[in-house]
Structure 1
Amino acid sequence: MTEQKQQLEQQLWNIANTLRGKMDADDFRDYILGFIFYKYLSRKMELYANEILEPDGLTFSEVEGHEQEAELLEALRDAALDKLGYFLAPSELFSELARRGNAGGKNQFILSDLSKVLTHIEQSTMGSESEDDFGNLFEDLDLTSSKLGKSENDKNELIVKVLAHLDQIDFDLENTDSDVLGDAYEYLIGQFASGAGKKAGEFYTPQQVSKVLSKLVTVGKDQLKSVYDPTCGSGSLLLRVAKEVKDVSAFYGQEMNPTTYNLCRMNMIMHDVHYNKFDIKNENTLEKPQHEDLRFEAIVANPPFSAKWSANALFMSDDRFSAYGKLAPSSKADFAFVQHMVHQLADNGTMAVVLPHGVLFRGAAEGHIRKYLIKDRNYLDAVIGLPANIFYGTSIPTCILVFKKERQHKDHILFIDSSQYFEKVKTQNYLREEDIAKIIDTYKSYCHAERSRSESEASHEAIDKYSYVATLKEVAENDYNLNIPRYVDTFEEEEPIDLNAVTTDLKALDADMQSTDATIADFCKQLGINTPF
């Protein structure tokens, strides 16, 4: 399975690199991922239709032109809308468009047909339960854009090449136990993110960070009623949580960027998440929350670091913020996201959020909010320091804050410093499997430890130079400053200097210098010039 997955990933990435030409990577990402998605929808439609038609001795390709074509298509449409959430006719399948584009060994003009098909996929859902999940999904595939080529023929030639190359790849959707294509799709998103610089933070969390967050919120659980990401990007975090448990009943997310919002919905569907099981909204989470009446068992997020927000005084009457007495500053929305997420967290839930280190020690309103979360609510369960330079587009060190409303160890907070545990891969730092395991094993040990313990027992649970279980009293004595070095001692004592050895080395160095000076003086004498000293 791993070999098949790697082969598919490489095939898709090769197509992307071969056909992109001079187009910006961000722009081509939207096209290649969109066409992969179109092929996925087509193949799912074909397989499902063939399954339904099998008792009648028919295949989907034989329906158009059949004497009962209208009745068969109507029945297939109703079944597909319920099961898949959309409908495609046989003549609208990806394979058919790819065939027509290369008919007779020459590029045939298919742009207008392709545009109609993509529009029809969205229109087929109108009035059905899946309408919100498929609406405007292909709006970023602008087939009239000059980015595809100067002339209509140039655009058509590029699109036909893309379809032809993709048509040759077997997505292996018949294997229902495999999620090879979903993983390959995720791989492509990650590859585009790695080359997107600062923009990558808008839509992608590196897989190793996603793994840490998802494992943290699923400790002690093998199924979840719900998982939520208020800044869901491409949905990688939500989907990663699903890999850590047997079942997730419902996925919820909100994403402000329309293109990324479309990418997230595609990603959900590509991972075979039924449209009834996810609810992704396109809106600003802080300004216009879309799920404010719901509470979630697991919450994961990688909000944009120190983003700006309105911090409008009207929010002081908002249930998410009112109890704190202060709003996060307009120049740094980090704690506004934390407050929002805490509000949405179920009593039995766990929340893990990636934030810049500044949230651990900055004062003013942020210090006030931090103190309230610890002293008055006692929700903070763990603080985990990550290595610098593991996110695309920024090299700053980051941390993970873990929150629970029903904490097992109400008098303690776990601190982990994993900032020195990573592997450098090209220009990025990367958390290895053993680095992830060390974080999660340390947190699990903390969670599974005895509920009642004294301050001395807590301190004994520290892993030298790596972790420390602090009491709330210690945190209060530090004025609720959570800067990790205050709790985890990573100081490395230097070896004592042997002054006698240093003296001997200096004498030897002086002798060498005198010998060198004598050699230079002799050369100068032979040349009849003055010495430089």
Structure 2
Amino acid sequence: MSEDQKKQLESQLWGIANLLRGKISADDYRDYILGFIFYKYLSEKQALYANELLVGEAVTDYKKVTDQETLAAIKEESLLKLGYFLEPAQLFSVLAAKGNADIESESNYILEDLKSVLNHIEQSTMGTESEEDFNALFEDLDLNSTKIGRTISARNEIIVKILTHLDKIDFKLNEIESDVLGDAYEYLIGKFAAGAGKSAGEFYTPQQVSSILAKIVTTGKSKLKSVYDPTCGSGSLLLRVKKEAEVSEFYGQELNRTTYNLARMNMILHDVHFREFNIMQEDTLENPQHLDKRFEAVVANPPFSAHWKGDANPLFNTDERFSQYGRLAPKTKADYAFLTHMLYQLADNGIMASVFPHGVLFRGAAEGHIREYIIKEMNALDAVIGLPANIFYGTAIPTCILVLKKCREVDDNIVFIDAGGDNHYVKEGNQNVLRDEDVKRIVNTYRNRETLDKYSYVATLAEIAENGYNLNIPRYVDTFEEEAPIDLDMVSTELKDIESDLKNINDTIAKFCNELKITTPF
């Protein structure tokens, strides 16, 4: 599929979202639009796979299959290959056609059928390997909610409108690369995030930032055994790593239930097989789900300075993720709790890259103690990258990326990059946005470990110790712009010329005042 076709698909999908503007709140119609796109994807995937199985049979169109033995065989194969099963009558196009029937009759009522189908998708996986990946996946699609209509008729009308417009879009799953629809889905998630205000940070990391993290953790590698995101949101960071390297296994954890569902849908839409991802819904700090594993790549955009139980929970003092540092992250700032959790789960040959607020670079007390231990005792900090302010949805604060390794190749210095200057981004609407060239420069500077005037500096560990392990970027990268020297003789000459001009003007005004026989104003 060409770039033009991809943009057309994105435009078509966003056009459906615009149909609901003013009728349903953005947060609500996001869940319905994304959920129904996912249902259509599952339907088309099921039909394509079933048709492959029917090659050479008497009936080769899955929609026309009625033989129960054939359906049973297709179900068995589908659960192994796809992880779910849809009968011919449950396909998206069938329900859309029913909803688009004569609107003057009740024949276009589809809410109950739709509820039944969505429940069936989840129930078809019970007792199979994919049960956990599909469990309660459609729970945010509440077809009885008054948010989408006060009456059953109004709700049915809205749902029919969405399905009818979606049915007109050909996903072309048998023609396009697997990531094209997934990328269009990501595009929609980004568009929803742009209008979601503060809550956007819960489920979406801007693509350019995701790209930086993904390129950094895949440095020198074309294949990764595993990638992990402990606060995975919609899964966009995990999937961005997939664009940079071949990944065998994806692991993630997400606290918000709606966002957790979105992450699983996003994985499947990007054609990540259910056996290749493990996304769990729990509090990462309180109840980590993958603690026995070590990951070759770790990426994250944790909630900035979130509250956590900290020293209020005595178990954390003996938790291997936190105990070796001698101090716990403050209860009101969990940044270093997330950082040390990720570092604990990083494999010896892995790279970790995560976004944090600038405060992690210089705040003292417990955070300063942990920071010093990571640098001095573990020698795990590899790079500090400053990003522009107002680059994340929902917050305008400046942020940074910390890169860590347990076994650093270059273990006597740390790279500092100041990519937050005015000439390192562009403004789009209310947001600051990194360009492709900005991303490329950041990644190349990190990989080459370069000192560049007013942009980056390779600091020795001795220099960092001299600064008391304060990592504030201006201590290392001098971005001061000298003012042009002032020619005092020229300034003196200009002042004399101004004084002469002023005398001439005053003489002219005095002449006019005398002619008018009025007092001069000076």
**CA distance 1:230–1:496, change in 2 (3 Å):** same
**CA distance 1:217–1:527, change in 2 (3 Å):** farther
Residue type matched to 2:431 in 1? Answer: Q
Secondary structure in 1 matching 2:337: helix
**CA distance 1:511–1:262, change in 2 (3 Å):** farther
How many aligned residue pairs are there?
A: 514
Q: Are the aligned partners of 2:23 and 2:148 in contact in 1 as well (CA < 8 Å)?
A: no
Secondary structure in 2 matching 1:141: coil
- How far apart, in 2, do the equivalents of 1:141 and 1:524 lie? 83
Write the mapping of 1:68-83 to structure 2, written as runs, cut at 5 A.
Answer: 69-83=67-81
Query: Displacement of 1:57 after TM fit?
Result: 3.2
Residue type matched to 1:430 in 2? Answer: V
Aligned to 1:436: 439
Say what the alpha-carbon RMSD is for the aligned residues. 1.9
Q: Are the aligned partners of 1:234 and 1:263 in contact in 2 as well (CA < 8 Å)?
A: yes
Residue type matched to 1:72 in 2? Answer: T
- How far apart, in 1, do the equivalents of 2:204 and 2:513 lie? 66
Query: Displacement of 1:239 after TM fit?
Result: 0.2
Residue type matched to 1:241 in 2? Answer: V
- How far apart, in 2, do the equivalents of 1:524 and 1:82 lie? 101
Alignment identity in percent?
A: 66
**CA distance 1:265–1:212, change in 2 (3 Å):** same
- How far apart, in 1, do the equivalents of 2:370 and 2:455 lie? 27
Aligned to 1:451: none
**CA distance 1:360–1:63, change in 2 (3 Å):** same
Q: TM-score, normalised by structure 1?
A: 0.93
Q: Are the aligned partners of 1:256 and 1:282 in contact in 2 as well (CA < 8 Å)?
A: yes
Q: Are the aligned partners of 1:232 and 1:254 in contact in 2 as well (CA < 8 Å)?
A: yes
Are 1:233 and 2:233 counterparts? Answer: yes
- How far apart, in 2, do the equivalents of 1:93 and 1:149 lie? 25
Aligned to 1:499: 488
Residue type matched to 2:198 in 1? Answer: K
**CA distance 1:137–1:523, change in 2 (3 Å):** farther
After the TM superposition, which of the residue ranges 280-289 and 463-472 deviates more from structure 2? Answer: 463-472
Aligned to 1:391: 392
Write the mapping of 1:404-419 to structure 2, written as runs, cut at 5 A.
Answer: 404-419=405-420
Q: Are the aligned partners of 2:149 and 2:155 in contact in 1 as well (CA < 8 Å)?
A: yes
- How far apart, in 2, do the equivalents of 1:528 and 1:202 lie? 77
Structure 1 unaligned blocks of 5 or more:
447-460
Query: Displacement of 1:314 after TM fit?
Result: 2.1
Write the mapping of 1:201-216 to structure 2, written as runs, cut at 5 A.
Answer: 201-216=201-216
Q: Are the aligned partners of 1:4 and 1:180 in contact in 2 as well (CA < 8 Å)?
A: no
Are 1:357 and 2:355 counterparts? Answer: no
Secondary structure in 1 matching 2:395: coil
Corresponding residue to 1:61 among 60, 63, 66: 63
Secondary structure in 1 matching 2:339: helix
Are 1:470 and 2:469 counterparts? Answer: no
Query: Displacement of 1:20 after TM fit?
Result: 3.1
Aligned to 2:470: 481
Q: TM-score, normalised by structure 2?
A: 0.95
Give deviations 1:361-412, integer Å, cap 9, x for gaps. 1000000000000001111111111111111111111111110011011111
Query: Displacement of 1:22 after TM fit?
Result: 3.0
Secondary structure in 1 matching 2:420: coil
- How far apart, in 2, do the equivalents of 1:295 and 1:116 lie? 40
Corresponding residue to 1:85 among 75, 83, 86: 83
Aligned to 2:299: 300
After the TM superposition, which of the residue ranges 169-178 and 314-323 deviates more from structure 2? Answer: 169-178
**CA distance 1:270–1:529, change in 2 (3 Å):** farther
- How far apart, in 1, do the equivalents of 2:489 and 2:175 lie? 73
Residue type matched to 2:411 in 1? Answer: K
Aligned to 2:332: 331
Give deviations 1:33-84, integer Å, cap 9, x for gaps. 00100100000001111111122132111113xxxx2212211111111111
Query: Displacement of 1:224 after TM fit?
Result: 0.4
Corresponding residue to 1:422 among 402, 418, 425: 425
Aligned to 1:490: 479
Give deviations 1:196-240, integer Å, cap 9, x for gaps. 111110000000000000000000000000000000000000000
Are 1:319 and 2:317 counterparts? Answer: no
- How far apart, in 2, do the equivalents of 1:88 and 1:115 lie? 13
Residue type matched to 2:302 in 1? Answer: P
**CA distance 1:23–1:524, change in 2 (3 Å):** farther
Structure 2 unaligned blocks of 5 or more:
none
- How far apart, in 1, do the equivalents of 2:172 and 2:104 lie? 28
- How far apart, in 2, do the equivalents of 1:142 and 1:514 lie? 82
Residue type matched to 1:397 in 2? Answer: P
Secondary structure in 2 matching 1:309: coil
- How far apart, in 2, do the equivalents of 1:316 and 1:463 lie? 42
- How far apart, in 2, do the equivalents of 1:481 and 1:271 lie? 41
Are 1:265 and 2:268 counterparts? Answer: no
- How far apart, in 1, do the equivalents of 2:394 and 2:472 lie? 24
Aligned to 1:449: none
Secondary structure in 2 matching 1:409: coil
Residue type matched to 1:444 in 2? Answer: R
Secondary structure in 2 matching 1:54: coil
**CA distance 1:175–1:499, change in 2 (3 Å):** same
